[in-house]
Structure 1
């Protein structure tokens, strides 16, 4: 090929590429449908409460009203897979709001006022700053509190217009605020539903009339092109023992495959316990025995050892149960009973006596057992027979965090003066440098009560 022909060939390819990109962008722009016409509320209806909405200068304004339930302005049409964009503004701290995505309605609830429930993308003006998080309205509660993505807490701007992008494609829901990646949830509870704009209930008459603003509400429903997440964002994945491609790309892997006990063994043996532990329907269960600590069937540990990691797991305990997830287990202490290690406590706080033992509640659910009490509130605790989400993060600099259902409840630094002072007052004081080993196994405890586990995944931190 002659040089001038080669140059022309390259120029033609570049021109064709730019042309295709331009056409794709134009098609994507053409695919947007305005859900709000800027003039009136055609295609929308008010459900749930008595707060009022009106249209002024191309904006939807919702007015807070005291002593009425949450009020929603919802679409008359349901949507399945979509990309939704809108702008939202809040001017007062009392004006919590949100956007329903695939929302549901029970028209007969609340004496015919109707009840809106389902996925809601939060607008939280308070110092908690969970805007963009995913709340399961009037059903399961928080699925993605922003403790799981603290970097996104600064995305929402009080008193300013905030751009929301919500993708609901298949069983994945992702959110952005002002371009910041916020929430990634994999859940299959609802595959279709309405879009809704919320004015939250208030009970202080002085806050009545405070405004929440919405504008530029538009949606795509065909030929959807998902926007990939590029940051290190934690994924709440409620599917059974599965990982998304994004999770895998971020270094996550399953510690329990849902089929067998590969990768696990008895704490003090090379083989897996022959009794007590079973795998069925994707669930790993330690069966109930006599309530004793590791005396019936025994603890199990990972064959691998870990240094710095992000460990997530789902657990369900029976009434009155006691168990735990331990880490930095060395198996070198020569003790009887359960192997020694730092412990994320699993406990029925209401029924098991251990909740009232120890010091100041440091043996309660999700606490660092016998050392630090979990700072949790009842609304984030699932009781016996319900699945809870646990998480332990150990950073390379020895900072450690415990989470319960997405909320951070414990933080400490291994080896710090404060940590060693706590150990000196605990049952662990007889072991030198307890919990400070450079690496160790992860352990699931047999404490004689039935406890179930699933979705155990881990990511090594560098």
Structure 2
């Protein structure tokens, strides 16, 4: 039977649509990958080192067959650094070890003024039997932040003899990494919120590594924002007892031993996910930085989490008032590692979802993962009742998202 022209057109359209559907089915991964790549821009043009500069030792970097090739040379660790600074971002790249050797990808990193030494967060490239590729190390500063000690899946992810895809995500205080799609690091740390990206060649006898397809999605950056204006107590309110005053650029809290009530200086607003940073000088008595707390109306005045402030012990521990009491109580030996008596100290509290991390002078003093405690509440400074109190606070600020590029 001879088909009519209209029938032929219908059959042709059906064949076209069937072909398109087949193409979609066969290439779903590619289509998903294309969607995942939205907003990414290349950091490496495949032909030159434009936008990058070298720092540190004598390793060499060259462009070869669309890759950046780094090779061990004399001297210290060497870094190929971006000219541009990045804050919040997702970084993707592929890498391969031609000659196995230790390496890493720096991010939110900096160069020391006196000698140009690169320091900061490093996502590890580790072909050794230890197999910590994807863990995070603080280069030339604090050492290991997230080793892969007991994560067997992450340890198996890296291919010593082939190409590897790395993903590094840094948004506010949360840092996450993946190697070949396997989750590796996931932790909170707000020591640096922006900095350089760099490709490291570790010092040693041998090592050659190549990187390609380096691209980034720039998500802007978070900004430290004061919640104390330095002059008044606007935005805060006082719960008795004790007294609060502003002296020489600091909030000063005092209370006599005869006062049974806890004195509190409380924010008017509540916070859920946040990072708060304060500098404090504890001269006498027990104090604390409350967060995700609620006013209670009793003698204590407030219920919730407290990061411990004390001139002698427990600094940086976590206590839950009207709850579990001590959640994390550090040992005296640990406190000596991070607390400096008689001088100003810095405390940072990161709270994201049900994860909490406390830092004193950059050292992690307490950490909770998937904790059942409160997820929203106020920030407060405490004067403990029943003891002689003298404590000072300055530079009280929170980390908030800034505008995104193109917004």
TM-score (norm: length of structure 1): 0.48
1:80 to 76, 81, 84: 84
Give CA deviations for 1:31-84 in whole Å, capped at 9, x if unaligned. Answer: 9353469xxxxx976734x7788999867355599xx7x410446xx7236898
Alignment match, 1:6: none
Alignment partners' CA distance in 2, 1:198 and 1:329: 50
Contact 2:223/2:399 (8 A) holds in 1: no
Contact 2:98/2:207 (8 A) holds in 1: yes
1:198 to 193, 197, 201: 201
Name the SS for the 1:157 alignment partner.
coil
Is 1:216 aligned with 2:216? no
Alignment match, 2:47: 34
Alignment partners' CA distance in 1, 2:100 and 2:274: 35
1:403 to 358, 363, 383: 358
Give CA deviations for 1:147-173 in whole Å, capped at 9, x if unaligned. Answer: 9xxxxx9599323534457899xx999
Alignment match, 1:95: 102
Q: How many residues align?
A: 328
Alignment match, 1:315: 278
Alignment partners' CA distance in 2, 1:438 and 1:215: 41
User: Which stretches in structure 2 are left out of the alignment for 5+ residues?
Assistant: 1-33, 148-152, 384-388, 402-407
Alignment partners' CA distance in 1, 2:290 and 2:164: 42
Name the SS for the 2:391 alignment partner.
coil
Residue 315 of structure 1: how far off its partner (Å): 1.5
Alignment of 1:93-242 (within 5 A): 95=102, 97-99=104-106, 103-104=110-111, 109=115, 115-123=116-124, 125=126, 131=134, 135=138, 137-138=139-140, 141=142, 157-159=157-159, 161-164=163-166, 195-199=198-202, 209=205, 211=207, 213-216=209-212, 226-228=217-219, 237=222, 239-241=224-226
Name the SS for the 2:397 alignment partner.
strand
Which has the larger strand fraction? 2
Residue 287 of structure 1: how far off its partner (Å): 1.5
Alignment partners' CA distance in 2, 1:186 and 1:198: 24
When residues 64 and 305 of structure 1 are mapped into structure 2, their CA distance, relative to the original with a 3 A threshold, is same
Residue 324 of structure 1: how far off its partner (Å): 0.7
Give CA deviations for 1:250-308 in whole Å, capped at 9, x if unaligned. Answer: xxxxxx36476444311249xxx98415796xxxx4226478697899321244678xx
When residues 56 and 303 of structure 1 are mapped into structure 2, their CA distance, relative to the original with a 3 A threshold, is closer
Contact 1:286/1:450 (8 A) holds in 2: yes
Alignment match, 2:290: 326
Residue 314 of structure 1: how far off its partner (Å): 0.2
Alignment partners' CA distance in 2, 1:117 and 1:30: 19
Alignment partners' CA distance in 2, 1:30 and 1:319: 47
Residue 378 of structure 1: how far off its partner (Å): 7.5
Residue 124 of structure 1: how far off its partner (Å): 5.7
Is 1:451 aligned with 2:393? yes
TM-score (norm: length of structure 2): 0.53
Name the SS for the 2:396 alignment partner.
strand
Alignment partners' CA distance in 1, 2:351 and 2:274: 5
Alignment of 1:57-68 (within 5 A): 60=69, 62=71
Alignment match, 1:3: none
Contact 1:264/1:301 (8 A) holds in 2: yes
Alignment match, 1:365: 316
RMSD across aligned C-alpha pairs, in angstroms?
A: 6.1
Contact 2:104/2:125 (8 A) holds in 1: yes
User: Which stretches in structure 1 are left out of the alignment for 5+ residues?
Assistant: 1-20, 38-42, 110-114, 148-152, 201-207, 220-224, 230-234, 242-255, 356-362, 416-435
Alignment partners' CA distance in 2, 1:293 and 1:96: 60
When residues 303 and 228 of structure 1 are mapped into structure 2, their CA distance, relative to the original with a 3 A threshold, is closer
Alignment partners' CA distance in 2, 1:380 and 1:214: 39
